[in-house]
Every structure is written in C-alpha cells, then in structure tokens.
Structure 1
C-alpha cells in the first residue's frame, strides 16, 4: 500500500479528518511521533517504506534527502514558506510541490501586532515583575500616530496594514514586486520606492517577505545605521531577512530601540546566544501560525493538496 509521511508535530491535534481523507483514497499514513522537527538523518530512516507523498512542516527536505526517496512523487507544505524544501532538486526529480496558501495569514498578522504592543508597553516584563511581587513601572509608548513600514505587500502585509490603520497609525508599504493601487487608495496607504530613504523616516518596521537570495539580510548594518534610535523592528517572516550580528550591534549601540522576532536563523537558537539575552530583544518560538484556527486550516488544506498533487502525477 502506498504511504504518506506526515511530519509536523502540530498536525496531531487535527489529524482525524485528514487521515480519514488519506485512508479513504487508499493511502497508509505514517506519522512523526517524536514530537519534534525531524533532522535529515531522521527523515532518511523512512526511505525503505515506499513513501510516495510527504506532508512536511519545517523539516529539511534537502537534495540529499529527496534523492533517497525513490518512490516520492509529491510534497505538500504544511504552511506557506517553502525554504526548507530544495525546490530545484524536487523539480529535477519530478516531484510535485505545493503549499497551504492563505491558511495562516490572520494568525501571523495578529502575532505581528501583538509583538508591536509588547515592544511598546513591555507587557511580559511588567507581568513577571508583579508575579515576583515587585511594582516597578516602565514607561511605554503609544502605537497611535506612529509611522509603520510594511516590508512586503502580500496578503499578510495587507492584513497587518488594515489593522494598523484601525489603530490610527500612518502606514507605508515597501514592495518592489507588488503595487496594488486599489488597496493603497482604499486604505489611504503610502507606497515607498526607495527603501534606503523610507527606512530613515519610520518608527516601526514589520517584515513580511519570503526568504530568497535577494531578501537575505535585507536588514543589515547599513540599514540599521539609517534608522531612528527610537525605531522598532518586527519580524514574523523569516530569520534570514535579518543579519543577526548587525542587529545585535544595533541594539547594543542604541541604533534602534528594540526588536521582536518570531523567527531566527537557527531554530531554536544556541544556548548563550548573545542577541537572545538582550533585554531589548524579544523572541518567540516560531508560533505565528500556531493558533487553533490556522493549524486546522493547514491540516485540511495540506492534505487536500497532497491528494491533488498525487492525482496529477497519476
């Protein structure tokens, strides 16, 4: 019986219907029961099980891994970003790849806003202080009236934009590949064409771009030097967008005030990582898509995608 490997740990909560969908079509399901993201070595332990499809989270489907699965015909990403999949190798091997588009837009958007509030009001440290029986109050800032730069005008960027306008923020979008005039006019949004210029003017930068060779280290030492010393950086997209050594220097030297990320170049970060230990750096464990609603949508859509891709392969 042909087999489907399911690797994402959060898939477990809403697996009943997806597994019914797969078994009804004659597939046997193999689940990752480790509760952790699989390494390349762990993925290779499945190579002798006649797996023709993989529903994958952030596990590394490198060229080496893909080459070792002789029966593999399709990969369905449980989520949107596919930078953990060697797409070029998959294409060369005739493996179809798809992702669960539009399943986590709202969840990631809301986390980006939550991180803005955290940076503005330092809520977690205030809560911890009271629970430690302290009563110290740190002064915060209002988001109302602040100038927000959305870097990446795709669907998540647009969702953040609409909500930021509801907070009476001034919003500008920078995206050299996308300019939706109807959206800009409907929501009274600015559009920047010069990144080096706009970065000097804004109070908050929120990143909503995929990781590509062109976007790698978009936020670097040169950019941080241009930003306001009171500026805030929010990254719920990909860790590779930020040069973390440059960010460390910028935060220590006061080139920007604070940064919050849900993503990191190496996840989880190494113990003792200097950036993670800074008081003005906030890091959450890649939970942007981890809401009940988004997880359920991703489970259903990624399952339907694997069925569609396998059907296309015949």
Structure 2
C-alpha cells in the first residue's frame, strides 16, 4: 500500500482537505498527517515524509530541490491546487519524482467573488460596513451603477468565461483581450483599447514571466480616470507600487484584490489597509465545493498511482523514473 504524507496543518485541513476527502485518501493509501502548525519545506519536509511514497502538498508547501534530494522513497509530489509555481519541476524531474496538479474546481467560487468585489467597489459596501462596525456613521457617497458600464477582462480562461455572462446579464458591456485564445461570447479588443474603454479591469491572465506586472504604471495611465481594478488571479500580475501611485493620484477610484505579494499570495497589508481598497486573504477558491473538488482530485490521483497508472494531472510523466521503476516491480 502506498504511504502518503499530507502536508496540511490541522488548521489548513479544516478548510482545504475536508474529512470526506481525508477518509477517501485513507481508503487508497496509508496516510501520515502533518501535526505542526507551520508549513514544511526543504529537508524538514523530507524528514517529516520519511518512508512515504507520495507527498500531497497544500499550496503553502513548496517542492524544493532539497526535499527531492533527501527523500529517496518519494515517488510523487501532488499539489492540491492548479498552481505549481512553487514546485521546482526541473529538480523533481532530475530526481525522477513525478509532479501532479489538481484540476480547477474553483471557477464558480472565484467568479462569484469577483462580481461581489466589483459591486462592493461600485457601491462602497465595505467602507460603509467598516464605519458602522467601528461605531461611526458612514459618509453618504454617490455610487456607481454598473449597468451600462464596460468590464474589461484580460485573459479568456475558465474564470473569465464564467464572469462574462454574469456581467452581461447585469447590463454591462464585456470586452476581452487575450492574444492566445479565440474569444467567443464577448467583444475582443486590443490591450490598449480595452484599458481605455473599461470602467472595471480584471486581469485574469496566467502568471508567466511575460505577464509579470501586466498591470503597471503604463497600463494604469491608459485606463479611464476613476476606473476600478479587480485582481483575483495572481499577485505578480500587478505592480503594487504603481497601483498605489494610481490610487494616490486618483487615476484609479479603487481596487479590489484577493491576491498579492504577501505570503501565500495574500494582498500586501499596506495596500489592503487603504480605504479605497477591498481585500480578502486569498479565499477566492475557499468554499466547501471548491476545496473538496481539488482534494478529491488528489485522492483520485493517489488511487491511480497505487494501481500503477499514470494520473492525468501529471506534468512531468516522462521524467518520473522512480514511479516507473516502482510500478514495474509491483
């Protein structure tokens, strides 16, 4: 039977690896739990997972060369998320360790939060609520009606395609820029035209070296004065210094973010504290449905590995020599 180390702390398991998923994992493998209160990394992770064939890793646990080098029994490193940017795949491949990722189960949850944040910015919901919570009367301010306004989506992936019809149903014009995808069901525009015409801009592109600081000083300068920015994709898509300057100058009326440069992709505290910013601590996919989907994905993958099969979430199948040798010797 495969032996699996689940990296989630007890607190993280409650939200990201619910009891049904843990029970299902125990049905296909022997499970060793991380009992500490902090994420593990490097040799410390290898030590905690000693004798385990698989590491099922939360998004805060990196896959570092030191772990692969110090874990001779390790066959596979499975991420309970789509994002594998903190896993050194070349190092894993060099060690013969398989890396897998989960399928997206958070599309609806993230899209719903995006719409909520957009409405919050337009109507000042958080600002008014904060004032009331602090025992003061909020300032009565004119809001922004979203019907008739333009929403600009940069990227045409699953989340953008989910958001677009919702915004359209609200009476918004939806425009999209994605040089790598065929846009259907929305109006495709060039980047500069999208920035100039949008009242709300949502960067939803994949995080790559090319898209780092996609939203920078030049991009903010090209946006309508008084427009909003909503980021629920990756923190590195936004140049935070440029964003802060755009808010200070009034070029942007406000921003909402579920991601940023703080640990675990959370918004930077200095930006999140601003009155013109709505922020949540990277919880876009934190709903029972989304969390269970990705946890159960890893259960399915471990089950396939236990049967000697290559899981479809594999990202370096050709380099997984340890698993290949283990499966052959079964």
TM-score range, shorter chain: 0.7 to 0.9
Aligned to 2:318: none
In structure 2, stretches of 5+ residues that fail to align are 311-322
With over 3 angstroms needed to count, the CA separation of the structure-2 counterparts of 1:64 and 1:210, relative to structure 1, is farther
* TM-score between the two structures when normalised by the length of structure 2: 0.84
With over 3 angstroms needed to count, the CA separation of the structure-2 counterparts of 1:68 and 1:210, relative to structure 1, is farther
Offset of residue 133 of structure 1: 4.4
Alignment of 1:242-257 (within 5 A): 242-257=238-253
Q: Is 2:187 aligned against 1:190?
A: yes
Aligned to 1:21: 24
Aligned to 1:264: 260
Q: CA RMSD in A?
A: 2.4
SS in structure 2 opposite 1:200? helix
Aligned to 1:214: 210
Matched-pair contact (CA < 8 Å) for 1:76–1:303: no
Aligned to 2:291: 295
Q: Name the structure with the higher helix share.
A: 2
SS in structure 2 opposite 1:4? strand
Aligned to 2:109: 107
Count of aligned residue pairs for this structure pair: 305
Aligned to 2:126: 124
Matched-pair contact (CA < 8 Å) for 2:262–2:268: no
Using the alignment, how far apart are the partners of 1:239 and 1:155 within structure 2?
A: 18
Matched-pair contact (CA < 8 Å) for 1:22–1:303: yes
Offset of residue 41 of structure 1: 6.4
Using the alignment, how far apart are the partners of 2:166 and 2:36 within structure 1?
A: 38
With over 3 angstroms needed to count, the CA separation of the structure-2 counterparts of 1:309 and 1:202, relative to structure 1, is farther
Using the alignment, how far apart are the partners of 1:91 and 1:269 within structure 2?
A: 26
Using the alignment, how far apart are the partners of 2:126 and 2:37 within structure 1?
A: 27
Q: Is 2:125 aligned against 1:96?
A: no
In structure 1, stretches of 5+ residues that fail to align are none
Q: Is 2:88 aligned against 1:60?
A: no
SS in structure 2 opposite 1:282? strand
Matched-pair contact (CA < 8 Å) for 2:259–2:265: no
Using the alignment, how far apart are the partners of 2:36 and 2:285 within structure 1?
A: 20
Offset of residue 17 of structure 1: 3.4
Q: Is 2:169 aligned against 1:169?
A: no
Using the alignment, how far apart are the partners of 2:256 and 2:109 within structure 1?
A: 16
Using the alignment, how far apart are the partners of 2:100 and 2:285 within structure 1?
A: 17
Aligned to 2:301: 305
Aligned to 1:229: 225
Q: Is 2:148 aligned against 1:152?
A: no
Segments ≥4 residues shifted beyond 4 Å: 39-42, 268-273
Aligned to 1:141: 144
Offset of residue 292 of structure 1: 1.3
Alignment of 1:276-291 (within 5 A): 276-291=272-287
Using the alignment, how far apart are the partners of 2:160 and 2:203 within structure 1?
A: 8
